[in-house]
Amino acid sequence: MSAPPRLLALATAVPPYRLDQDKVVERVKLLFDGSPNLDRLLPVFTNSGIRTRYSCVPIEWYDRAHGWAERNRTYVASALDLLEATTRRLLERSGRDPHEIDGIVVVSTTGIATPSLDALLIERMKLRRTVWRLPIFGLGCAGGVIGLERAASRAAVAPGETVLFLVVELCALSFRRNDWSKSNLVATALFGDGAAGALLSSEGEGPAITAAGEHTWPGTLDVMGWEIADDGFSAIFSRDIPQLIDTQLHDVAASFLARHGLRLGDIDRFVCHPGGAKVVAALERAFGLEAWALTEAWSVLQDYGNMSAATVMFVLERMLAAASANGELWKRALMNALGPGFSAGFLVLDNQ
């Protein structure tokens, strides 16, 4: 029986500009002065559970209009910087050399790059010219879990290979000052920028990835996604997301685990993407947890906001760090994230 892929190292990175939520609210009041929805929607900011976020551009950048071309140029340059920083941290923490990387999986849904970000990273870091590449677009918030599974699948069938998994999302660039819609205000209240990554191999020490799966609900294509406008991406959010989690996620997760001979009771840690305060609360109910039990999800949401696919990796990093610092023993963790489709991604980490 072949050895399962393991997480050799984990790392995260954020851009340099810190956004305080109170200051964001003051900015929004100025930019959306005259909007008929503003007073009604401002509580979204105060009830978001977010105190700070990070942006690849200073807050003043959002004061003027920006076209799609400018936004995407900013995305490519900033995303590449964050991916390089994340990769260097991973190599340092794992004690690996850049030339040991055999393949790269990069997940991102907040911009477009051709050549893709993985090719740009190979050129910048002078990685081996034989490195295989897999860029993934369109998974949205589910990309952290599903993308990690794609990287793990390659590591599982190629014993000894070192696979670099990276995810970068610059969600804040989607803010559009001339869009007074509820979805744009909600996105403005929630989104932040960040990157994360992991090194995986069947050879080495670290939590093993022992199961993974997905579920896509029928008739839900309009629940979450992007619409393309002349000045960039426009967010689509359905108000039904927390209710869908409340009523259906438990059974879907239980079915996934059962296919791998597991039950929810076999899970010691839940590593969930914190899409927003209502989403985290719904996740706790779905998994039969007490209120505020998803400590790491709440704290990442508070400190970084919703960074789409990258966020669940921040939660995983914080969970592993807390368990190590407190000497806590855990056997299995369930990673979960929801994204466009409308889809759920699941992944089981085994620490035995």
Show which residues are catalytic. Answer: 141
Distances 329 to 58, 104, 207, 316, 350 between C-alpha atoms, Å: 41, 31, 12, 15, 11
Query: Which of 271, 210, 207, 198 is closest to 9 using CA atoms?
Result: 198
Alpha helices, DSSP H only, in 95-238?
117-125, 143-157, 182-190
Instruction: Collapse the DSSP code of 103 into the 3-class scheme (helix H, G, I; strand E, B; otherwise coil) and give the result.
Output: strand
**Amino acid found at 152:** A
Q: What is the DSSP letter of 27?
A: H
For residue 175, is the peptide bond before it cis, meaning its omega torsion is within 30 degrees of 0? no
133 with 104: CB under 8 angstroms? yes
Contacts of 324 (CB under 8 A, 6+ apart): none
Secondary structure (3-state) at 10: strand
